[in-house]
Amino acid sequence: MRFKGTPVSQGITIGHAHPLDVEDALVPSYEIEESAVDAEVSKFNTALNRTIDELSAVKDAAAENAESDEMTAIFDVHIAMLKDPGIKRNTISKIITERKNAESAFSASIKSVLDILENSPDHYFRERVVDIRDLAQKVQSHMMGLEQAASASPFRDPILVASQLSPSQTGPFQDLAKGFVTEHGARTSHTAILARSLRIPAVVGIPGLMHSISPGDEIIVDGLEGEVIVKPSEEEKAHYIEKMKAFREYHEKLVQEAKKVSRTVDGHHIRLKVNIDFEEELKNCAEFGAEGVGLYRSEFLYLQCAPNLPSEEEHAAYYTRIAEAVYPHRATIRTLDLGGEKYFQEILEPKAVNPVLGLRAIRFSLRHWEMFQTQLRGILRASYKKNVSVMFPMVSMLEELQMARAALSEAMDSLRRDSVPFDPDIQVGIMVEIPVCALNAEAFAPYCDFFSIGSNDLIQYLMAIDRNNESMADYYDPHHPAFLRLLGSVAEAAKSRKIPVSICGEVASDPNLIPLFIGLGIEEFSMTPEALLEVKAKVRSLSFKECHKLAAQAVKAWTGTEVKNLLMGRPIKEKKFLGLKWSKGKSDG
Amino acid sequence: MASSTEITLKNKLGLHARAAAKLVNLAGKYHSHITISTPQLCADAKSILGVLTLAAGKDTLLRIEADGPDHGEAIDSIVELIEGKFGEE
């Protein structure tokens, strides 16, 4: 069986399916012996209690850090649902009287509750369906021993198959998984980013896949073409083994090239850095010739420490290891950017209908001053060798930057009082990723030591599309001339204050777009380590002058298609500009 | 070994999820069998799904019945919770 999805991480792999979601179709159902009844009941009780304990731990951690019980109350509701005597009684009675195994007995009990709620005229009850499904999945995975399997998959060369993967699911599999396949997701979702940093192939966006795969099935993942083959024939296997070899050889060649300087043919230095989520990824970076870390996503440290928050010591130790590993290059630490699709949405804003537009990133940090102080002190402590930069995510208004800078000063004062060394001239920058900030870049430049353009979010907010919504993938178009003109104006604002500007989003990994960006005045790129090789090879083939000519053409376009055509050598037709008073278009355009 | 009482819900949101969680947690501490009913429906006070399906809003008249060794205390503490508007306002 062949499936076609979106390739999001290069490479080819052959392995065995390890499904992670517990959907109805995958819940095992069988009749049990009378002698097994007690064991089945106790399996159910253990799984249920374990899930309750886990939720209680998360709740306690939330209660310690949150200011209101609003945030923790949702856990009380969930815990009460798990303790509901109706579901419990029903499940146990199905095990005893109908001789059903615990998983299917529980599944049937949950289903009868869901049926009632789903048909309720009250929208409040219909919304609870999602909560209950999620809770039920947690219990099921405990019963099916998936938690134990997390540290050692029962399958050789496991390939994780899921409807969607969250960081907490992929975490335990990092050293183990040979590939990822998901039903949902896009190039910029967690699965994709993680797969690329681990250098394992991944394909996303194959709806219904879970129903065609059984645990342990042999599968091939082609992260070049976006194909997934379930139970391949011998010929298919042979074909892919060949393809796998060819890809490896090509990759090896690029690694050899990586040691060379990142410079255009006319001698212009283009700085290439890496985005990382885990310190383990650093090992690839020096080998690939990176000039420092352009983006460390600190939320992954929070994730590793969950359900507790990282202490100041943990922050300082982790950031110091990164800074030391890249020394004398710089390490840019981005402060907490929780929100959107990332974990712990429940704690942040349980009722947010649209979390990507809600309380996240710097907005969250500024409202949790003590938590923010802990992180800032940790970052400052790692800066004593003067090679650390701090970056604030999702800044929309100048007032936020000023508040964040005040928080940083406060952290500095407290370290001074404790006589802890740090870099008092630590570089401070912002992620330019919200349109209002990009349009107002001139106002931010005097207060920043650098800009970093977060293209993933900038495109998402500019286009009003959810970047994880695969049916909207066509709209996610970095070729769009309005996006390019916006980048140009941010670069111009940075240049006027002589501060560097980089792109740290996914588009920086696309070699075809690099000449456009260089031409728009962006001379620094930070990307997933895997992309570094191809981007460097591209930079070394470019003429700086030609890039500028190309970009000057591109910004005259009206559609993304025109820009795509331009990149393939078709010139853009001249347009009549009206010279509108409020338009940012240049008068010579 | 049983007692009952009636009380009107006074908090703004009625028996919404968080209030229901508090009620169920409290009821769970007693050995008695406790039910809570609106004029239309009756639910096990230890079952959050049951309590939620009562969909009891502000000013609903609730009848609480407890049957068991600690029925008196159970009723008293539940009444106290409801009268205290679930500690919300």
Comparing A85 with A521, which gets the higher pLDDT? A521
Instruction: Read off the pLDDT band of A448 (50, 70, 90).
Output: very high
Q: What is the mean pLDDT of residues A177-181?
A: 90
3-state secondary structure at position A444: helix
Catalytic residue among A18, A190, A368, A479: A190
Render A172-206 in DSSP notation, one character per residue.
GGTTT-SEEEESS--TTSHHHHHHHHHT--EEE--
Six-digit token string for A84: 């509901």
Tell me which residue in B25, B28, B49 faces A113 most closely, judged by beta carbons: B49
**Structure token pair of residue A482:** 């309005």
Which residue is associated with the tokens 């073409």? A225
Q: Do B44 and A76 touch (CB under 8 A)?
A: no
Whose structure tokens read 């939720």?
A55
Q: With bands split at pLDDT 50, 70 and 90, how would you rate the model's confidence at A218? A: very high
Chain B interface mutation, best of A74, A75, A78, A84, highest count of B Cβ atoms under 10 Å: A84
pLDDT digits (tens, 9 = 90+) for A354-378: 777 888 899 989 998 999 999 999 9
> CA A298, A300, A303, A304: dihedral to nearest 10 degrees?
-110
CB B15 within 8 A of CB B51: yes
Look at A428 and A349; give whichever has higher pLDDT.
A428
CA distances from A208 to A3, A225, B38, B72 (A): 10, 19, 44, 55
- Given a cut of 70, whether residue A71 has pLDDT beyond it is no
Residues whose CB is less than 8 angstroms from the CB of residue A194 and which lie 6 or more positions away in sequence, other chains included: A165, A167, A170, A174, A180, A277
The single residue listed with the structure tokens 């050692």 is A152
Tokens representing A45 are 């009780």
Distance CA A409, CA A403 (A): 10
- A-chain residues near B20 (CB < 8 A): 77, 80
Q: Rounded CA gap, B25 and B48, in Å? A: 9
Predicted ipTM?
0.86
Chain A hits for B53, Cβ within 8 Å? 116, 125
Question: Is residue A300 predicted with pLDDT exceeding 90?
Answer: no
pLDDT digits (tens, 9 = 90+) for A189-208: 667 777 877 788 999 999 88
Q: Give residue A151's pLDDT.
A: 45
Quick one: pLDDT at residue A25? 46
In A, which residues are within 8 Å of B44 by CB distance? 85-86
Q: What is the pLDDT of residues A233-285, one digit of tens each?
A: 999 999 999 999 999 898 888 888 888 889 999 999 999 999 988 877 787 68
Contacts with A351 from chain B: Cβ below 8 Å: none
Q: Which residues contact A409 (CB under 8 A, 6 or more apart)?
A: none
> How far off is chain B from A348, nearest CA to CA, in Å?
17
Residue A39 reports pLDDT greater than 80: yes
B16 is catalytic: yes
Measured between CA atoms, how close is B40 to chain A, in angstroms? 16
Alpha carbons A28 and A4: distance in angstroms, whole number: 28
Best residue in A55, A77, A116 for a mutation probing chain B (most B CBs within 10 Å): A77
Task: Using the predicted structure, report yes or no on whether residue A462 has a pLDDT greater than 70.
Answer: yes
Edge-first strand order for the sheet with A227-230 is A2-4, A227-230, A218-222, A12-19, A158-162, A179-182, A202-204, A6-9
CB atoms within 10 A of CB A72: 21
Is A368 one of the catalytic residues? no
pLDDT at A187: 67
Type of residue at A356: V
Nearest to A83 among B17, B20, B28 (CB): B28
Is the CB of A76 less than 8 angstroms away from the CB of B52? no
Cα A170 to Cα A177: distance, rounded to the nearest angstrom: 9
| Residue A65's pLDDT band (cuts 50, 70, 90) | low
| Listed residue (B31, B23, B26) closest to B54, CA to CA | B23
Read off the pLDDT band of A467 (50, 70, 90). Answer: confident
Structure-token pair, residue A123:
């929208």
Cα A376 from Cα B77, distance rounded (Å): 46
Chain A residues in contact with B28 by the CB 8 A cut-off are 83
Report which DSSP code applies to A61: H
Nearest alpha carbon to residue A588 among A577, A557, A519, A566:
A577
Cα(A23)–Cα(A162) distance, rounded to whole angstroms?
A: 10
Q: Compute the mean pLDDT over every residue in chain B, rounded to the nearest whole number.
A: 89
pLDDT at position A148: 46
How would residue B89 be classed by pLDDT, with cut points 50, 70 and 90?
A: low
- pLDDT mean over A152-162: 79
Confidence at residue A383, expressed as pLDDT on a 0 to 100 scale: 97
Output the CA torsion A116→A118→A121→A126 (10° steps): 120
User: Once rounded to an integer, what is the mean pLDDT over residues B75-87?
Assistant: 91
DSSP A301-339: HHHHHTTSPPPHHHHHHHHHHHHHHHTTS-EEEEP----
Interval A405-412 mean pLDDT:
97
Most confident of A15-19, A257-261, B13-17: A15-19
Q: Give per-residue pLDDT as tens, A83-105.
A: 888 888 899 999 999 998 888 89
